């Protein structure tokens, strides 16, 4: 359903701008005024697709924003696309659907993380934390859930009272896909958060794969409109994932991987927010 008229910006952000101050990573908060908003990205690109507007809203309220990259984002499929043939036809960022680049899996991780860091800079994130953890949810789902759970608990211990923003997880199924088969890394993040509901109350979930649906089918507990300034910053962040600049190690990996989400997210001035049941 659409955003409820009683859901104020203050309630969405948790606290008012006047009460907030800065906080350096590793410091314990002196008071509630220092509580950061912590955003967790399962992969490089999830933060810009699903949560860029929310990041900007918290920044505009004066709240410290930390962005945590939960996995290295290894993606063997991207090696096939980059080192073989671009699958985007005329939309290929290189302007050459037949391009061939020689990237290793480590190169893929490094390049994806460069895109992530550049997007975070566009959004004005205060701290970027790269956990450098293997994207192992596909091979060890319980282990990955436990790792994410411990990561969230660690940040909550360092910053008690922080708000925690993740992806929708179980709903992250590409349009037309099997609802029983979500992206496992995304689903593991949601499972980890849900396992902490008795200890942490302030979770919010943002729908990444919703942008693969037609606009009329995109829904959530709250459909949050972005201001023109927030939407502009979101488009700037997403543009980092389509930057083709091989001389500087940029190969538009995000766009080669998830153009079906990046383009609709850039065009849609809304974000899709679920709250725990």
The whole-angstrom distance between residue 94's C-alpha and the CA centroid of its chain comes to 25
Structural tokens at position 9: 């910006």
Q: Model confidence over 40-70: pLDDT tens digits?
A: 999 999 999 999 999 999 999 999 999 999 9
* Per-residue confidence (pLDDT) for residue 30, from 0 to 100: 40
* Per-residue confidence (pLDDT) for residue 102, from 0 to 100: 93
* Per-residue confidence (pLDDT) for residue 277, from 0 to 100: 74
What is the C-alpha to C-alpha distance for residues 135 and 265, in angstroms, rounded to an integer?
24
Structural tokens at position 102: 């020689």
141 touches 161 (CB < 8 A): no
Q: Model confidence over 174-218: pLDDT tens digits?
A: 999 999 999 999 999 999 999 999 999 889 999 999 999 999 999
Helix, strand, or coil here: 168?
coil
Low pLDDT (below 50) residues in the chain: 1-33
* Per-residue confidence (pLDDT) for residue 87, from 0 to 100: 84
**10-38: b (≥16 Cβ within 10 Å) or e:** eebbbbeeeebeebeeeeebeeebbbbbb
Lay out the sheet containing 65-69: strands in order across. Answer: 127-130, 65-69, 37-41, 163-167, 203-206, 270-274, 222-225
Structural tokens at position 157: 């211990």
């Amino acid at each position: 359903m659409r955003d409820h008229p009683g859901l104020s910006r203050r309630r969405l952000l948790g606290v008012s701008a006047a009460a907030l101050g800065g906080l350096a990573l590793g410091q314990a908060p002196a008071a509630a005024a220092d509580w950061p908003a912590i955003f967790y990205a399962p992969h490089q690109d999830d933060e810009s697709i699903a949560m860029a507007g929310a990041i900007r809203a918290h920044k505009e309220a004066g709240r410290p924003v930390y962005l945590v990259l939960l996995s290295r984002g290894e993606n063997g499929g991207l090696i096939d696309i980059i080192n073989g043939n671009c699958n985007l036809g005329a939309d290929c960022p290189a302007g050459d659907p037949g391009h061939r680049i020689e990237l290793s899996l480590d190169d893929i991780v490094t390049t994806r993380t460069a895109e992530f860091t550049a997007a975070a800079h566009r959004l004005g994130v205060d701290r970027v934390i790269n956990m450098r953890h293997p994207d192992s949810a596909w091979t060890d789902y319980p282990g990955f859930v436990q790792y994410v759970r411990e990561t969230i608990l660690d940040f909550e211990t360092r910053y008690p009272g922080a708000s925690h923003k993740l992806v929708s997880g179980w709903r992250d199924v590409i349009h037309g896909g099997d609802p029983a088969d979500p992206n496992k890394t995304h689903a593991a993040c949601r499972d980890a958060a849900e396992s902490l509901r008795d200890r942490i109350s302030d979770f919010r979930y943002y729908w990444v794969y919703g942008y693969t649906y037609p606009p009329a089918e995109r829904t959530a507990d709250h459909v949050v409109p972005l201001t023109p300034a927030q939407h502009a910053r979101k488009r700037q962040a997403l543009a980092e994932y389509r930057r083709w600049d091989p001389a500087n190690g940029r190969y538009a990996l995000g766009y080669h991987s998830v153009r079906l989400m990046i383009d609709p997210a850039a065009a849609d001035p809304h974000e899709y927010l679920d709250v725990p049941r």
